[in-house]
Chain A
Amino acid sequence: MLLEAPFTEEKIRQLNVGDMVEITGLIYTGRDAVHKYLAEGGRPPVDLTDGIIYHCGPVVVREKDRWVVKAAGPTTSIREEPYQGDLIRRYRIRGVIGKGGMGPRTLAACHEVGAVYLHAIGGAAQVLAERVVEVPGVHMMEKFGSPEAIWEFRVERFPVVVTMDSHGNSLHAQVLAESEAALKSLF
């Protein structure tokens, strides 16, 4: 199914764990340095309200007068677990894209605010880079360096799977419990 900007609470609340979604609209990258900076009270250089943040350290090169994305796969999200829930609440962030899933604090914030965790396919750097059709801007490049900067990505049909929804469900918790039961039966 298609998820198009604007990313309103109403649209996000309709998503459920297991939904295969293609995102079209503007999203922002942000990884370790950005999360720490915002959590410590730094001012965001972009408006994150109703926004989607992507845990990604892309490879972006300047070709003539524009930015071109060479590789843009997700990075492991769990490192942002200490910060993500608070940031979702503070800025009304509607979506977090990454890989590997996140923990109970983020899940609680998603439930409260109306946000989802969207799992991109780890390692699929080329497929995902192809879906970034334009890079309108970049922020905090000087301060954090290219992989850690906030990149504005205009994406078209960017493929993700909802693995944590706004109703308190987490596919990661479910698979963990099921595989644990399977493991016990083998011991």
Chain B
Amino acid sequence: MEGKVLQKNLLELIRRTSSELPLDVIRTLEKGYRREQKGSTAKYALKVILDNIKLAKEKSQPLCQDTGTIICYAELPSWLDELAFKRAYEQAVAEATAVGYLRQNSVDSLTGKNSGNNLGPGSPSYHLSASRQRSLTVRMMLKGGGCENMGVQYSLPDSRIGAGRDLEGVRRCLLDAVYQAQGKGCGPGILGVCIGGDRGSGYAASKEEFFRTLDDRNPDPRLARLESRILREGNGLGIGPMGFGGATTLLGVKVTHRNRLPASFFVSVSYMCWAFRRNGFQLSESGRITRWLYDS
């Protein structure tokens, strides 16, 4: 496949990710809207949110002006090497910025200067792996700064919240994270969680959980139970959409685990806002999109 063809397809992936939410997220927001009391500020907030989702899709414009960190996972088949992918991806990101699918969002941490095209050290980020499949698989997520600031990493035991090195300790961390975030991460939010790993791998794995759909079920029954319990108890905190108070504080909880060192026990929590922009596709060698990975 020519680089230009790959670039064009990646641009379309960015456009869709920025302007359309996956169906599982919309359905869950609608459920929250139905659950909230008539005339409440919580219902009002969800109404504006649902209107905004519709409008962004119609206008093909960014759902939220903070188009966030661009997180990309690609599984490369034998016909595509890393350098070719990287070149097409970076050009697609620069073009998406020029046409307004992405905001100018990459700032030099030493000088404060905005690069203007979303390129620079560490941006856009990408995670590449080799694949034996015939087609290229790309998953993408846009994660805004407001929710990224609400992420937190616990090191157990933690005496402040009485959390020991077990699943009960993990439960306390997650509920504390929801409480600390209040409405500041543009809730209703979604928790991506990794139990274990090191500080770096734990956060990375916590974000990968966001590639799961909200309506799936964790194959590990212990984690499935933890997820539904945190969802129920987190909503019981009454923080509500935007922190206005209400029954819809969380849209989902997704938990994974990694082995850890005997000395360490990290619980890494990433918070995703309601503007949960995720998408992905499979691309054939001839440059045709054969499948979108999420319904929208």
Contacts and interface: CB of A to CB of B under 8 A. Distances in A.
Interface of A: 18, 20, 57-59, 61, 70-73, 76, 78, 99-101, 119, 121-127, 130, 159, 161, 163, 171-172, 174-176, 178-180, 182-183, 186-187
Nearest to B145: A76
Nearest to A76: B146
A123 B25 CA distance: 15
Nearest to A19: B41
A178 B243 CA distance: 11
B176 A73 contact: no
B244 A187 contact: no
A20 B52 contact: no
Contact of A186 (B49, B183, B236): B236
Given A161-B45, A179-B237, A124 B182 contact: no
A121 B45 contact: yes
11 contacts: A70-B100, A71-B62, A76-B146, A119-B242, A123-B186, A126-B55, A159-B48, A175-B183, A175-B243, A179-B237, A182-B238
A171 B244 CA distance: 7
Interface string B36-67: 00000100110011011001100101111110
Contacts of A174: 245
B172 A187 contact: yes
Contact of A100 (B44, B55, B184, B238): B184
Nearest to B233: A186
B41 A20 contact: yes
A136 B223 CA distance: 55
A121 B48 contact: yes
Contact of B65 (A72, A101, A163, A171): A72
- Per DSSP, chain B at the interface is loop
A180 to B, nearest CB: 7
A123 B233 contact: no
Given A123-B52, A123-B275, A186-B175, A175 B65 contact: no
B11 interface: no
B182 A172 contact: yes
A123 B44 contact: no
Contacts of B183: 100-101, 172, 175
B146 A122 contact: yes
B32 interface: no
Contacts of B176: 183
A126 B244 CA distance: 21
B244 A163 contact: yes
B273 interface: yes
B243 A101 contact: yes
Interface string B166-183: 000000100110010011
Interface in B54-93: 55-56, 59, 61-66
Given A18-B41, A127-B48, A130-B55, A121 B175 contact: no
A125 B175 contact: no
B21 to A, nearest CB: 11
A76 B182 CA distance: 13
A147 to B, nearest CB: 9
B273 A123 contact: yes
Nearest to A125: B65
A71 to B, nearest CB: 4
B162 interface: yes
A182 B247 CA distance: 13
A127 B61 CA distance: 11
Contacts of B62: 59, 71, 125-126
A181 to B, nearest CB: 9
Nearest to A72: B65
A126 to B, nearest CB: 4
